[in-house]
Amino acid sequence: MKSSSRKPVLAVPGRATSYDVARVAKVSQSAVSRCFKPGASVSSKMRARVMKAAEELGYRPNAIARSLITRRSNMVAVVISQQTHRYFPELLDELSRGFSARGIRVLLFTLEKESDIDVVLEQILQYQVDGVVEAARLSGEQVDMLEKRGVPFVFLNRSLRDRPVNAVCCDQAEGARWLVNRLVEAGHRSFGIVSGPADSVVSAERTQGALERLGELGIRQVAVVPGNYSYESGAAGLRLLESKLGRVPEAVICANDVMALGCMDAARHDLRLGVPADLSVVGFDGVGPARWKSYDLTTVQQPVRRMAEAAVSMIVERIEDPTLPPEKRTFSGILTHGSSARLRKP
């Protein structure tokens, strides 16, 4: 290992500081600083001497040390549940792309469950991130902590009812109502709903939106069963609905796409039913596999790139100017007609 030969020079092998460089170059630490500060005045002889020592020691100016002076870390925390990440990887992709384009890095916090935020909030604050994108549940007290620290944050697909916060959302209820309208117009009269994890805000909004609209339209045969966003829970959901209603419903609304794909496969392969001949299945998200030819799912697509860009720019604006008032941006989902649902009268 090369590091052993450098031990006499460096306190910690490989982690040279500006003081180490100064000692080796036989100049002051402030001279080293100037050499690495864009636009600072320094003689070419001095620069050559410092650069030679820096090269020798593998020194690089320390973004973290700089962050103590600027009070900017150029890091943003992204908090996301494992389920959301696993079944909707597009979201983190687009956030990472958006922040990278602005020279900001993503410090990733994945939660086993949405409601596990307690565990990581203290850590998020300790890392002195410049902002937080929250795709997880946060209580009022937790929002207090962030606000007290002046760390700008944006909720993604969730909000708080009783206080102004920054949020970027897809209109889950609107999307769910659309789906119900189209299915009822096409003549469906019995409905099953497979919801997501109990602590998922997004699932609650979608499920509630669908139930409300079904109620308004006077549809009485409705059953709701729990899922957990996974393919397997969508397949199991269909069987639960069958036993709850006494028969397979005419239409199944799943709280995300991946469960809808599981439900379609259970209908076709386990129950030998035609989709959409015997039942219609719809989802929500617009993930890649929903477009695959084996599924061709009718769904509501979240405009994920636009949503991520909105979240990124809302955070960046508030890092620049923390006095900006809270803002909420709501995007309509895009109704995507696939062949998994019958959307015309038979």
Residues contributing to the site for a copy of itself (CB under 8 A): 1-4, 12-15, 58, 60-65, 67-68, 71, 73, 75, 78, 82, 85-86, 89-90, 92-93, 96-97, 100, 105-110, 122-123, 125-128, 145, 147-151, 231, 235, 261-262, 264-266, 268-270, 288-289, 291-295, 322-323, 325
Q: Within its chain, how far is the Cα of 340 from the centroid?
A: 27
Residue 331 tokens, joined = 């995007």
The DSSP string of 46-86 is: HHHHHHHHHHHHT----HHHHHHHHS---EEEEEEEHHHHH
CB nearer to a copy of itself: pick between 100 and 332: 100
Smallest gap, in angstroms, from Cβ of residue 206 to a copy of itself? 21
Smallest gap, in angstroms, from Cβ of residue 176 to a copy of itself? 24
Q: Within its chain, how far is the Cα of 211 from the centroid?
A: 26
Q: Please choose, from the candidates 48, 312, 300, 327, the residue with its C-alpha nearest in 3D space to the C-alpha of residue 167.
A: 327
Smallest gap, in angstroms, from Cβ of residue 110 to a copy of itself? 4
The secondary element (H helix, E strand) that includes residue 225 is strand 221-226
Contact partners, residue 234, CB within 8 Å, separation at least 6: 194, 227, 254, 258, 259, 260, 261, 262, 263, 266
CB nearer to a copy of itself: pick between 33 and 82: 82
Smallest gap, in angstroms, from Cβ of residue 185 to a copy of itself? 28
CB nearer to a copy of itself: pick between 219 and 258: 258
Contact partners, residue 73, CB within 8 Å, separation at least 6: 64, 67, 127, 128, 129, 130
CB nearer to a copy of itself: pick between 6 and 306: 6
Smallest gap, in angstroms, from Cβ of residue 301 to a copy of itself? 16
Residue 13 CB neighbour total at 10 angstroms:
15
Smallest gap, in angstroms, from Cβ of residue 130 to a copy of itself? 10
CB nearer to a copy of itself: pick between 178 and 295: 295
CB nearer to a copy of itself: pick between 134 and 205: 134
